[in-house]
Amino acid sequence: MPNSEQNFRLNWAALGYGEKRQEEGPDYTIFVGDLAADVSDYMLQETFKAVYPSVKSAKVVTDRTSC
């Protein structure tokens, strides 16, 4: 995340069962782990959009078992 010295690893994912791909071109999904607790959907999207303007959305998902 911004001003972070920690490296992160990207895991590429495919569409899940029943999900439909839009015909506008390829869409990709990435998963980013070990985010700080204060990272919001907006912050995640804007961070990636600064480097990759084609980013359409971002969603922060938390693991209930690790809270």
CA distance 4 to 6: 5
Structural contact between residues 21 and 27, judged by C-beta atoms closer than 8 angstroms = yes
pTM above 0.85, yes or no: no
Q: Where are the alpha helices (DSSP H) in the chain?
A: 41-49
**Amino acid at position 39, single letter:** V
Q: Which residues on adjacent β-strands are paired with residue 13?
A: 29
CA distance 45 to 52: 10
* Tens of pLDDT, residues 19-59: 555 556 677 888 888 889 899 999 999 999 999 888 888 98
